[in-house]
């Protein structure tokens, strides 16, 4: 991905804290902006993993878990239609719709090397961790006859070391994302397998 610097670090209006799109609005945006079903699935998988992490590992309440989920669901909403303005278009759309600034900042920080926005809290750091790894794990499942069934961490780790497998997945980004959290890669992989396997 080329550099798509946003050249700002403040997003949304603090007065909109707690305001999210309804599930219907978020899904409608997904349907309208993302014709590609594979990309839709990726976004739904990241949303599911983000929500699960918020609840299971951060002890989040419903409102906070929905924030994590919505950031995951919409993080790539403009990637297909507006590749040269990726992140900028969805951010401006969510600002217009008065969405919670934390959700918008989380989306803006899911690729710090590209967008120039540093992940500055747990939600930001986890979307950065999950984004590439979720896609990589799904790619790993697709080449297995039984898909996610019986998939283990060791086989995913082995594929990660094979540069030619899912070559578009940036290993440097994964390493950078992991360096910002104090959780072993193996644990993250297992969590993603467990929480995205049934997303459709």
* Residue extents of the structural domains in the chain: 14-196
CATH of the domain spanning 14-196: 1.10.3210
Comparing C-alpha atoms, which of 144, 138, 109 is closest to residue 41?
Answer: 138
Model pLDDT, residue 3? 63
Rounded CA separation 132/113 (Å) = 13
Query: Given the structure tokens 């690729």, which residue do they identify?
Result: 111
Structure tokens of 1?
């991905």
pLDDT at residue number 96: 97
171 phi/psi in degrees, rounded to 5: -65, -30
pLDDT score for 61: 97
Q: Which residue has the tokens 């909403």?
A: 77
Which pTM does this prediction carry?
A: 0.95
Q: Where does residue 154 rank: exposed (0-12), middle (13-18), buried (19+ CB within 10 A)? A: exposed
Query: Smallest Cα–Cα separation from 74: which of 120, 22, 113?
Result: 22
| Model pLDDT, residue 9 | 86
Query: What pLDDT score does 189 carry?
Result: 98
What pLDDT score does 145 carry?
95
Per-residue model confidence (pLDDT) at position 53: 98
Whole-angstrom distance, CA of residue 27 vs CA of residue 10: 26
Rounded-to-10 torsion of CA 48, 50, 55, 60: -130
The answer to whether the beta carbons of residues 193 and 136 sit under 8 Å apart is no
> Which structure tokens are listed for 87?
């992140």
* pLDDT, position 63: 96
The series of mean pLDDT values per 10 residues for the chain, 200 residues long, is 77 96 95 95 98 98 97 96 92 97 96 92 97 95 94 95 91 95 96 95
């Amino acid at each position: 991905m080329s550099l798509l610097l946003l050249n700002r670090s403040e997003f949304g209006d603090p007065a909109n804290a707690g305001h999210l799109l309804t599930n219907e609005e978020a899904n409608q945006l997904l349907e309208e902006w993302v014709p590609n079903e594979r990309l839709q699935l990726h976004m739904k998988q990241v949303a599911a993993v983000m929500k699960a992490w918020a609840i299971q590992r951060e002890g989040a309440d419903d409102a906070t878990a929905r924030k994590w989920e919505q950031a995951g669901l919409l993080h790539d909403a403009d990637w297909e239609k507006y590749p040269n303005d990726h992140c900028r278009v969805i951010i401006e759309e969510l600002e217009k719709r008065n969405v919670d600034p934390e959700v918008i900042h989380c989306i803006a920080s899911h690729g710090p090397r590209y967008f120039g926005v540093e992940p500055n809290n747990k939600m930001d750091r986890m979307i950065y961790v999950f984004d590439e790894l979720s896609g990589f794990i799904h790619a790993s499942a697709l080449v297995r006859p039984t898909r996610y069934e019986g998939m283990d961490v060791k086989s995913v780790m082995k594929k990660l070391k094979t540069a030619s497998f899912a070559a578009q997945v940036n290993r440097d980004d994964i390493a950078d994302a992991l360096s910002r959290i104090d959780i072993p890669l193996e644990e993250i992989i297992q969590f993603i397998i467990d929480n995205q396997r049934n997303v459709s």
